[in-house]
């Protein structure tokens, strides 16, 4: 048996934490043999990345993700292992989950039939889709299958299968919000894979298979969260890893090869020699950090990112006359001042605000093509934009009692994304001991990100480097 392999995981978001946690489990399973020594490095002073909960004065404020829609069970399994399963709570049941805000007011948008992304047949009873739009949707089973199997944009796919009205009235506001990009540029294969597969198999989207998990009494999948906020997950992973394995405020700035090992250089000047590196950061960081490796130069795929600002605002309950009887609303085409959606957090989840207050959160998004023009320059500008939006949508004139502002870059999967990532992985396979995980590759949902961490850890433990030392 040779010396235990050393692994450096770069990035302390959910992907990096899951990878490191799984690798450390391998360590505890094989106490008597050589097991990987794992170190996770995180550039910022806080672990968790886009899972970021602030708990203050009776508020549970989500700066990033606020929930997940269970499809494959990864989050629940991990939560159970971490003894967090008792903290899983469903979102409130409302007959209308979300409204679309049009020029003349709110229209019920996501109702009893479920989400049109998971279940396009719900369009037939969606009051936000015009009569002509519904007639066209009914014709979907007659639409010819697309030949060739090449990727296309979400707009092209939806318009072809379900019609221009379904795209404009339903999918454009919904998908732009979920995937952070212009659906005219988003990859159908990367963002709507189950629907694309139904067509490829010769099926109809209206008759296609249902997502696996649904509420018993409705056709809708549940929405789940943790009672103390989504950061409960990353905090617990961090706790299980222990401080010995985690270094915050440590940015990896360059990775090179030397004598058959990887050398990870940190911004502090410290160098870590290791056998395996898992990059769990955005691809722009991957390209930057690996710039000296001639084997992959020029092949790191460009995955553009969109800037998103999340503004949480607390108000006295009496400041808002609207009943807040849904999870929130999305702005329809041409509506709003740059805010794309607003979640009514204290209506969506229990215990998010003291009983005499409400918590609302607005999303300000700029597509990559827009540059940063729509992103406010400072937190005050973001709050002003959000207040202006709420004055228009909910007639709120009072000042908020508290505000919180968070800025993010989210990966945008453009047409051809899956092919570019596969080609890059093929190049990486020639470099022993270098792996990828995270939201930039095979899905940005919390489930997909956990899956990417689990897969990266499995690839490391099955690699020759680790197996040869056992």
Ligand X SMILES: Cc1cc2nc3c(=O)[nH]c(=O)nc-3n(C[C@H](O)[C@H](O)[C@H](O)COP(=O)(O)OP(=O)(O)OC[C@H]3O[C@@H](n4cnc5c(N)ncnc54)[C@H](O)[C@@H]3O)c2cc1C
Instruction: Select 386 or 444, whichever has its Cβ closest to ligand X.
Output: 444
Count residues near ligand X (CB under 6 A): 35
User: What is the helix (H) or strand (E) element at residue 54, kind and residue range?
Assistant: strand 53-56
Instruction: Select 43 or 175, whichever has its Cβ closest to ligand X.
Output: 43
User: What is the helix (H) or strand (E) element at residue 38, kind and residue range?
Assistant: strand 37-41
Instruction: Select 205 or 252, whichever has its Cβ closest to ligand X.
Output: 252
Which of 115, 122, 191, 285 contacts ligand X by CB under 6 A? 285
DSSP 255-309: EEEETTEEEEEETTS-EEEESEEEE-S-HHHHHHHTTT-GGGTTTSPP--EEEEE
How many whole angstroms separate alpha carbon 373 and alpha carbon 336? Answer: 15
> Minimum distance between the CB of residue 310 and ligand X, rounded to whole angstroms?
5
Of 314, 235, 237, 238, give the one whose Cα is nearest residue 61.
Answer: 314
Site for ligand X contains 67 (CB under 6 A) = yes
Site for ligand X contains 300 (CB under 6 A) = no
Instruction: Select 166 or 274, whichever has its Cβ closest to ligand X.
Output: 274
How many whole angstroms separate alpha carbon 307 and alpha carbon 328? Answer: 21
Site for ligand X contains 245 (CB under 6 A) = no
Binding region for ligand X (CB under 6 A) out of 162-170, 257-265, 326-334, 437-445: 437-445
Binding region for ligand X (CB under 6 A) out of 24-32, 340-348, 367-375, 444-452: 444-452
DSSP state, residue 91: P
Site for ligand X contains 176 (CB under 6 A) = no
DSSP state, residue 128: T
| Count helices and strands in the chain by DSSP H and E runs | 15, 19
Binding letters toward ligand X, positions 345-384, x by CB under 6 A: ----------------------------------------
> Minimum distance between the CB of residue 413 and ligand X, rounded to whole angstroms?
12
Residues in the chain: 470
Binding letters toward ligand X, positions 250-269, x by CB under 6 A: -xx-----------------
Instruction: Select 252 or 396, whichever has its Cβ closest to ligand X.
Output: 252
Of 21, 176, 237, 409, give the one whose Cα is nearest residue 7.
Answer: 21
> Minimum distance between the CB of residue 14 and ligand X, rounded to whole angstroms?
4
Which of 6, 8, 12, 182 contacts ligand X by CB under 6 A? 12
Site for ligand X contains 13 (CB under 6 A) = yes
Residues 338-352: b if buried by 16+ CB within 10 A, e if exposed? bbbbbbbbbbbbeeb
Could you tell me which residues come within 8 angstroms of residue 90 by beta carbon, excluding any fewer than 6 positions away? 222, 223, 224, 225
Instruction: Select 76 or 152, whichever has its Cβ closest to ligand X.
Output: 76
User: What is the helix (H) or strand (E) element at residue 458, kind and residue range?
Assistant: helix 446-461
Q: Which residues of the chain form contacts with ligand X (CB under 6 A)?
A: 10-16, 41-44, 49-51, 64-68, 251-252, 280-281, 285, 289, 308, 310, 408, 410, 438-439, 444-446, 449
């Amino acid at each position: 048996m040779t010396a235990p392999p050393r692994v450096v995981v770069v990035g302390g978001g959910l992907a990096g934490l899951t990878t490191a946690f799984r690798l450390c489990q391998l360590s505890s399973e094989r106490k008597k043999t050589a097991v990987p020594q794992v170190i996770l490095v995180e550039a910022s002073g806080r672990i968790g990345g886009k899972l970021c909960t602030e708990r203050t004065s009776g508020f549970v404020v989500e700066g990033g993700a606020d929930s997940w829609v269970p499809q494959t069970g990864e989050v629940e399994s991990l939560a159970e292992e971490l003894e967090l399963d008792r903290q899983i709570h469903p979102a409130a049941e409302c007959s209308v989950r979300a409204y679309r805000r049009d020029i003349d007011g709110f229209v019920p948008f996501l109702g009893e039939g479920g989400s049109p992304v998971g279940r396009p047949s719900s369009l037939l009873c969606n009051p936000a889709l015009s009569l002509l739009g519904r007639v066209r949707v009914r014709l979907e089973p007659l639409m010819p299958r697309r030949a060739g199997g090449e990727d296309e944009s979400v707009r092209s796919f939806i318009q072809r299968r379900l019609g221009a009205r379904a795209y404009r009235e339903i999918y454009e506001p919904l998908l732009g919000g979920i995937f952070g990009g212009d659906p005219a540029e988003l990859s159908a294969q990367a963002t709507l894979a189950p629907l694309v597969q139904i067509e490829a198999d010769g099926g109809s989207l209206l008759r296609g298979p249902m997502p696996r998990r649904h509420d018993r009494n409705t056709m809708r999948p549940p929405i789940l969260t943790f009672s103390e906020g989504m950061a409960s997950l990353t905090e617990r992973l961090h706790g299980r890893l222990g401080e010995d394995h985690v270094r915050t405020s440590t940015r990896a700035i360059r990775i090179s090869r030397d004598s058959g090992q990887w050398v990870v250089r940190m911004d502090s000047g410290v160098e870590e020699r290791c056998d395996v590196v898992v990059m769990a950061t955005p691809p722009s960081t991957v390209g930057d950090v690996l710039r000296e490796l001639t084997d992959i130069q020029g092949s790191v795929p460009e995955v553009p990112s969109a800037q998103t600002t999340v503004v949480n605002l607390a108000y006295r309950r009496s400041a808002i006359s609207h009943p807040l009887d849904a999870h929130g609303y999305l702005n329809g085409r041409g509506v709003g001042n740059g805010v794309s959606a607003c979640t009514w957090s204290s209506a969506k989840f229990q215990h998010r605000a003291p009983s005499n207050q409400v918590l609302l959160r607005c999303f300000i998004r700029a597509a990559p093509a827009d540059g940063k023009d729509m992103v406010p320059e400072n937190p005050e500008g973001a709050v002003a934009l959000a207040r202006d939006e709420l004055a228009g949508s909910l007639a709120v004139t009072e000042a908020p009692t508290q505000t919180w502002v968070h800025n993010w870059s989210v990966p945008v999967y453009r047409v051809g994304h899956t092919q570019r990532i596969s080609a890059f992985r093929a190049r990486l396979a020639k470099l022993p001991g270098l792996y990828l995980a995270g939201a930039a590759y095979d899905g940005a949902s919390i489930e997909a990100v956990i899956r990417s961490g689990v897969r990266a850890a499995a690839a490391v433990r099955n690699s020759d480097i680790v197996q040869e030392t056992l």
